[in-house]
Structure 1
């Protein structure tokens, strides 16, 4: 045998040389899968409980004969009995399932409360606890935010129309939701494909969660489908993350500047006179359309002593909050649209002087509401008001 060949076959090769020749990766060490931690398992277990509540509209029961639900109910009972678990999962608590209950006053109370699942360490809820009494009382209507019909939706409809018009024009864009700090009054979001608007942010409320004081804020969130929810601020955040929600912001700005486009401009209000004067009370669909930078309630205080309000008390029938709109200009447009039905009546004030009301018009309320929406969206330029038909009709 050739000596050079024999040397190649018998001499040891270096480790680097062997690794270089391993083109198929046979010597590669397999990657170790990421270790699932106890926190991961706990979060996944609780998210299954959350999903049950979202799908079925109720808390899973640990007494039911349905094995799958019974396991979820027992799992929730075990979580509730452990303050550390409650604290770790609070940020995921979309339905306030972890709100604390009154602690037991005696051992008998504890045993009657059904906390054996936690005492036995059954984190997975695999024990059959169907014979134990229910640990938690049914949730009160105030503890879970459900969507209900927004009774005053007409006061928000124009805002949604305006935002859709701005999206179409490109002056507003959708950006990713980045955190709790974006949830403020006047901001628009898209959640589950539906646009919604944060109409109100309540005061901080102190709640006891897992034996500790927590502060939460109730929101009033109005949806463009005519419903609203009184969910907590943290609950909206959770849903935005879960459903990859988006925020409406001015085109060309980042999330940190989003609130530049969310300042309240003022109020367009619609009032109805409570005057007992037959010349006033006998007029159907008589409304005052005005503008205010302060609250409407403050503006109409002492209305019975002001000629502006026909020297009589008034009732607020609509209060349109406006954002990023010059409300005084909108008010002027409304007056121009309804100029042909302006109240033509001379009144005498408390000093015996005559005056002609300038902001009172005779038109159906639903037409006034539609006009506000069309002015904000820009559509009004193509329409005029027809007093005979009492409708907004296309301009010829």
Structure 2
């Protein structure tokens, strides 16, 4: 038979409340297990870094990301990733007891690098690290549209100009000055870039390139170098190179005002006709030499309607900015120098009236440039133009 007695008959009294029940649980049978705390990204980052710290404490060095040991390589790559992230470095700074997150400053020179070589790992008794005799490596500028140098086919027209400039530099008539800015890159200007003299022979028509921000304008140049090559680089490209590579401008010693903020008195320009008339189109080295106080582009508007421009559109092949001097007198002197090469042609205007253009000459462009330089220097009095040979030849009156 079953025992009809109750728990109370055996001296056991059931708890009367939940608190009494919990207090009677001496073996912790009613204890709820602790819920695991959620691990955050910051926690994971700290744990990952502390593994690196422990490696440094154990081995006395930082882990390498290039070793064959997989575990060490993993820690090294992890450290590289942390060092590449400024936010992670800032968050882990309090845990960095060995200065693992400190970025050393790059040495300012090879001497400083060797001076910090505590263990003489870079010791050099052979002189292999001595670079004092090597030439300075210039910055290389390149782009998709970079103009390449090629042989200048008509270099014989420009070679006398370079010889003259070198003579002027030796005599003190000209001097080298620091590159003054892009506004001075005009036709007829001489510069020195990396020890090589160059001549801006032509400035092309303005090109317009639309970007998402604004419309940019640029001009192709014909740049002739004294080594017999030429380039069709953009004006902006030459400006950047002259600026970045400490270029110089060749300036007349007695005309320093050309590099100042002086008044522009006008422009001497050289034009090429686009006439399709065989009597004009078949003439080589046919140029108009003129003067204007305003923009050359404004002067030649509607050229096809004027007999002055041979009743045809024209191209600007050279423009010489003049400062503080009477440019019209310079123009007249050029006309006298090249009088023997003047074009003799009668044109009819739109009303049928006959017109003899007086400013067109059959002269190579390089010779025109040379004549302008000689006029500015005063040396033109020693030269005359030989129309048959198409060059300036020296002469002196006995």
* TM-score, scaled to structure 2: 0.45
Specify the structure having the higher radius of gyration (Cα). 2
- More helix per residue: 1 or 2? 1
Structure of greater relative contact order (alpha carbons < 8 Å, 6+ residues apart): 1
